[in-house]
Amino acid sequence: MYLVRVRVRNFRGIAYGEVHLNGHTAFIGDNNAGKSTLLEAVDLVLGPERLSRRPVIDEHDFYAGTYVDPDKNEVVPIQIEVVVAGLSDEQLRHFRDHIEWWDSQAKTLLVGAPPEGTDAPHVGAAIRVFFNGWYDVEEDDFAGDTFYATPEMPDGSYLRFSAPDKRKCGFLYLRTLRTGARALSLERGSLLDVILRLKETRLTMWEDLLDQLRALPVGETEDIGELLVAVQDAVRHYVPSDWAEQPHMRVSDLTRDMLRRTLTVFMGTGAKRPDGSVYSAPYQHQGTGTINTLVLALLSIIAELKQSVIFAMEEPEIALPPHTQKRIINSLRQKSAQAIFTSHSPYVLEEFDPVQVVVLKRMAGVMTGVSATYPPAVKPKAYRTEFKARFCEALLARYVLVLEGRTEFDALPAAARRLAELDPTRFKSLENLGVAIVDARGETNVAPLGAFFRSLGKIVFAVFDKQSHEALATITASVDHAYESATKGFENLVLYGVSEVALRSYAAVVVAGGDWPQHLAAWTPTPATPLADLQAALSSYFSWAKGGGDAGDLLASCPTASDMPEYVRTTLAAIKNVIEPPPLPALPPLPPQLAGVPPLPEAAAESPPLAPAYGKFQPSPPQPLA
């Protein structure tokens, strides 16, 4: 069993969204793209214990806080719909009255499917379930429930999708903040509770514990005994003797719920007592990485006990070294029917095929998800090696800057940092702007890479050398913002665009540091070297040291912003203004002859109608998304 489609309407930051999944999935995207919101939405539908939380939803769970429509006198519901496919034989029997058919090629449900349509290899049985949350007018509260989308009852209602039904789906959701309470406590819905339920040992365990605690002597010292007798004697002055007979102490109120909240897992700390025994402490006192590892280990146990499990987890890499991240990801994928992650770790993401990496984007409340593909000019065999070095940061960012070659890759970020130091009002570093940088490794790759990242919903900038009219048109059509240099070769642009003062200062530092190569000893720069000869010598030096970041060092050493090439300054300022537009200029003052003239009277704006009393709002009956 695995999720294939999630649709969300009017939930938190999502006015509407539709995302498709392809087996094991990693959700990536910029901060506030909606990754956590999407998993929270799925949890509202499939989480067995989620609806037991009170309130199920509140005002802030509605998009823009809108849960009533005064114009229509209607309640505005939250609607979340999930399609689950890949049903096992047991699940087919359990959900037999609610089966629909999912076409994995068309990524849609068959409508009125004929028998022959369901026999296609790309068509399989699925169930469609949904959550509706709404403002309850009569109770002045918020309510929500889950339902099967089919069949629709004669009165227009839908059958409830209950907690026992949800357990058949095996959905488990772990949020980012993992203190261990969700896993290592015995409260309802915890991972230990799930394991006990799967082993069907909870009844005998709780009864045995209660029997042991009832027999456990507590507070039987002479002082406490005398105190309890005094309490009993005092009470008998006011009530009959059988009302407060034989007061005594127990470790708790001896109920299952109290035990669930009280029992705590202790673990060895590694510290030894004087008698040689290992000191144990509550699990909360363990390190963050240890707690995370324990949580993931419990997930593995659940997967082994329950053959069909859907794991959803945020940031599995928290406080774990890279090799552990990889091991855990692969283990959970092997043992589960579907594992869904959100992540910002290249070590996690490189374990997924590109089609399993879904890039989420949210614009004006509309969420979309696009599966990544192999980048152009990168073979599948080389993808994993190239991924961390070139593409991971760009996949995770909102803005991408495609640079023609290694020299630009080293030089422009260094120039941006230096300009941000010299003139912070006009410039910012590319890191501060949230721009990821990609080395295209050749001018012919700029347009394909720009189109690739643009297809993933990124805002793409490109910096490149002078091009032919045809090549320039291709690049411009492939990116959002193109910046063409007036020269051929970025090294030449730097050498002939940097001021003479900055050039001589940089050359002196290179020579003094012993970095000038022996084969160029005859052209070693000196204070008396003519400017043209100095530029030629540094050109030879840059060619010899190509890929070493020397052009970036030259730009980073410029004493003032005006010492840098004008193209570098204007390009970096333009990128900054796209991401952070400057404030609009103030309106000019009125001419003197109009300064004392009163303004013309404005037409009275119609005041919006007052919202009617909540009692007049019509409820929204639960229904799946149209």
Is a pLDDT exceeding 60 seen at residue 609?
Answer: no
Q: In angstroms, rounded to a whole number, what is the distance separating the alpha carbons of residues 610 and 566?
A: 58
481 contacts 460 by C-beta, under 8 angstroms: yes
| Mean pLDDT, range 40-65, rounded to an integer | 92
Is a pLDDT exceeding 70 seen at residue 619?
Answer: no
CA 214 to each of CA 218, 462, 482, 486: distance values in angstroms, whole numbers, following the listed order: 10, 74, 77, 87
pLDDT digit string (tens) for 389-418?
778 889 989 999 999 988 999 999 999 999
Q: Is 109 helix (H, G, I), strand (E, B) or coil?
A: strand
Q: In angstroms, rounded to a whole number, what is the distance separating the alpha carbons of residues 132 and 80?
A: 7
Q: In angstroms, rounded to a whole number, what is the distance separating the alpha carbons of residues 525 and 530?
A: 9
Of 52 and 340, the one with more pLDDT: 340
Q: In angstroms, rounded to a whole number, what is the distance separating the alpha carbons of residues 470 and 491?
A: 24
Is a pLDDT exceeding 70 seen at residue 241?
Answer: no
What are 550-554's contacts with CB under 8 Å, separation 24+?
551/407, 551/410, 551/411, 551/490, 551/491, 551/494, 552/410, 552/411, 552/412, 552/413, 552/414, 552/415, 553/414, 553/506, 554/411, 554/494, 554/498, 554/502, 554/503, 554/506
- Most confidently modeled of 266-270, 520-524, 546-550, 594-598? 520-524
What is the band of 219 on the pLDDT scale with cuts at 50, 70, 90? Answer: low
Identify the pLDDT of residue 415: 96
Give the number of residues written for the chain: 626
Q: In angstroms, rounded to a whole number, what is the distance separating the alpha carbons of residues 60 and 543?
A: 59
Q: In angstroms, rounded to a whole number, what is the distance separating the alpha carbons of residues 59 and 78?
A: 11
Question: Could you count the other beta carbons within 10 Å of the beta carbon of residue 351?
Answer: 20
pLDDT digit string (tens) for 131-150?
999 998 888 899 999 999 99
What is the band of 207 on the pLDDT scale with cuts at 50, 70, 90? Answer: confident
Identify the pLDDT of residue 105: 92
pLDDT digit string (tens) for 151-165?
888 888 899 999 999
Identify the pLDDT of residue 222: 66
| Mean pLDDT, range 608-621, rounded to an integer | 46
Q: CATH 3.40.50.300: which residues of the chain?
A: 1-177+307-372
CA 451 to each of CA 333, 368, 466, 485: distance values in angstroms, whole numbers, following the listed order: 32, 18, 20, 20
Nearest to 492 by CA among 437, 553, 535, 547: 535
What is the band of 612 on the pLDDT scale with cuts at 50, 70, 90? Answer: very low
Annotate 431-444 with three-state secondary structure.
HHHCEEEEECCCHH
Identify the pLDDT of residue 613: 38
Question: Could you count the other beta carbons within 10 Å of the beta carbon of residue 58?
Answer: 12
Pairing of strands 2-11, 158-160: unpaired
Q: Which of 125-129, 156-160, 216-220, 549-553 has the lowest mean pLDDT?
A: 216-220
**CATH class of the domain defined by 1-177+307-372:** alpha beta
CA 579 to each of CA 394, 419, 457, 574: distance values in angstroms, whole numbers, following the listed order: 16, 17, 15, 9
